[in-house]
């Protein structure tokens, strides 16, 4: 049996790793989605983002395969009411298959609709935190995910993050049955993304590689994925923003995003995403910008808390390793990694959170809600409301 020995203590090793049934990666691979849908023989609900015209490639592929489809567009962040509307659209058109083609919003919406197509009741029956958290007991409708951004990794995760306007918070619909039947990652689909979206989604991908690497759920398989993903993101995020037509940069960022999705599903996330859940529910700030603005200060807060209250934590040296992966310096410490992230955000033109109208009085309630967020649980150390508020204040101020 495998075991891990640290500081003279032996822990038996146990972890769980699962993902989409099949992953296809490469330029032009988006056509695999249409081929898979054709083999399933049914009408497709095609869920797209706020610019449905970007779905022209998959529409052409579906038409070539003579796959009937019904379009459904999601504008902005996916909300519970929008998912209910999509579910009604699917049922009215008698759709049997769901394809999510777009960013995280389209893919999360597609996964949620596919789950609710076969599981009766209200979405609140199944939502975490604000709902009843009941399990999804029936197999979800077949779902295929095709990302057109390099950030969320939602094509290989088992949850859908939805905004509950009633509760002003982002929460998850989650089940092992929500893994897509097929994930198609085509880097060519990201080449038309504007620089700011490339930058913010890329910072989301980086966050989703760093947080699982230091989480309480970290394991050898997720570690290997995180190390490789962090290295690629550090080298290729800037080139992807500077020249979106650079195929090597787009390919490496698509891999980094995919790796982040694989890692977070196995190892969990942390304080940045724990704070992003309530912050995203009360504001319209794009998720990637929230991650970019909070990431360096969340690392600072975690390192400080670990040094003060958990000096023997295995997460502490990992923050130094992250700095080495980011900077390429064999002697880098955590503080240099923080400086690298701050400089990268400035260089990429990530807007400050203050530019979205956040006020100081908005922050303590966000911190209080964040402590209850599912993403906060794997953080390497429990942070107080005051520490979480400090992260938010730094993210707004700097």
The answer on 206 and 331 residing in a single domain is yes
The answer on 159 and 27 residing in a single domain is yes
Percent of the chain exceeding pLDDT 70 equals 97
- Per-residue model confidence as pLDDT tens digits over 261-278: 999 999 999 999 999 999
The answer on 211 and 177 residing in a single domain is no
Residue 150 covered by a domain:
yes
The answer on 150 and 166 residing in a single domain is yes
- Per-residue model confidence as pLDDT tens digits over 165-194: 988 888 899 999 999 999 999 999 999 999
Domain end call among 190, 212, 239: 190
The answer on 247 and 129 residing in a single domain is no
Note down the domain range covering 239.
Answer: 195-397
Residue 17 covered by a domain:
no
Domain end call among 190, 212, 245: 190
> Residue 53: which pLDDT band, with cuts at 50, 70 and 90?
confident
Task: Tell me which of 253 and 3 has the higher pLDDT.
Answer: 253
Residue 10 covered by a domain:
no
- Per-residue model confidence as pLDDT tens digits over 264-319: 999 999 999 999 999 988 888 999 999 999 999 999 999 999 999 999 999 999 99
The answer on 176 and 71 residing in a single domain is yes
Q: Three-class SS string for the chain?
A: CCEEEECCEEEECCCCCCCCCCEEECCCCCHHHHHHHHHHCCCEEEEECCCHHHHHHHHHHHHHCCCCEEEEECCCCCEHHHHHHHHHHHHHCCCCEEEEEECHHHHHHHHHHHHHHHCCCCHHHCCCCCCCCCCCCCCCCCEEEEECCCCCCHHHCCEEEEEECCCCEEEEEECHHHCCCEEEECHHHHCCCCHHHHHHHHHHHHHHHHHHHHCCCCCHHHHHHHHHHHHHHHHHHHHHHHCCCCHHHHHHHHHHHHHHHHHHHHHCCCHHHHHHHHHHHHCCCCHHHHHHHHHHHHHHHHHHHHHHHCCCCCHHHHHHHHHHHHHCCCCCCHHHHHHHHHHHHHHHCCCCHHHHCCCHHHHHHHHHHHCCCHHHCCCCCCCCHHHHHHHHHHHHHC
Residue 107 covered by a domain:
yes
- Per-residue model confidence as pLDDT tens digits over 101-118: 999 999 999 999 999 999
Name the domain count of the chain.
Answer: 2
């Amino acid at each position: 049996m495998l075991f891990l020995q640290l500081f003279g203590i032996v822990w038996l090793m146990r972890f769980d790793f699962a993902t989409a049934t099949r992953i296809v990666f490469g330029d032009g691979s988006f056509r695999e989605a249409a081929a898979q849908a054709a083999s399933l023989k049914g009408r497709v609900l095609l869920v797209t983002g706020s610019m449905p015209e970007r779905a022209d490639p998959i529409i052409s592929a579906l038409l070539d395969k003579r796959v009937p489809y019904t379009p459904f567009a999601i504008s902005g962040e996916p909300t519970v009411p929008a998912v209910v509307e999509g579910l009604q659209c699917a049922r009215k058109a008698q759709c049997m298959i769901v394809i999510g083609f777009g960013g995280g919003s389209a893919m999360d919406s597609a996964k949620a609709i596919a789950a609710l197509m076969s599981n009766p009741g209200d979405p609140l029956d199944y939502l975490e935190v604000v709902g009843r958290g009941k399990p999804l007991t029936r197999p979800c409708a077949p779902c295929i995910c095709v990302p057109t951004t390099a950030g969320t990794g939602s094509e290989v995760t088992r949850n859908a993050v939805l905004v509950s306007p009633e509760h002003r918070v982002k929460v998850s619909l989650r089940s092992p049955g929500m893994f897509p039947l097929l994930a198609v990652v085509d880097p060519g689909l990201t080449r038309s993304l504007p620089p700011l979206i490339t930058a913010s989604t890329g910072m989301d991908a980086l966050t989703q590689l760093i947080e699982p690497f230091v989480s309480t759920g970290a394991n050898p398989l997720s570690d290997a994925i995180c190390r490789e993903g962090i290295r690629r993101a550090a080298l290729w995020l800037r080139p992807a923003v500077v020249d979106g037509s650079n195929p090597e940069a787009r390919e490496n960022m698509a891999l980094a995003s995919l790796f982040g999705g694989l890692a977070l599903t196995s190892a969990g996330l942390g304080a940045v995403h724990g704070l992003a859940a309530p912050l995203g529910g009360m504001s319209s700030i794009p998720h990637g910008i929230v991650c970019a603005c909070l990431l360096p200060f969340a690392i600072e807060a975690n390192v400080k808390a670990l040094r003060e209250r958990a000096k023997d934590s295995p997460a502490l040296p990992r923050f130094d390793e992250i700095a080495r992966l980011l900077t390429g310096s064999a002697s880098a410490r955590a503080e240099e990694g923080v400086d690298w992230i701050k400089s990268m955000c400035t260089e990429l033109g990530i807007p400050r959170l203050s530019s979205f109208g956040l006020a100081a009085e908005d922050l303590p309630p966000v911190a209080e809600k964040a402590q209850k967020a599912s993403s906060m649980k794997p953080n390497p150390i429990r942070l107080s409301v005051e520490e979480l508020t400090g992260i938010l204040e730094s993210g707004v101020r700097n």
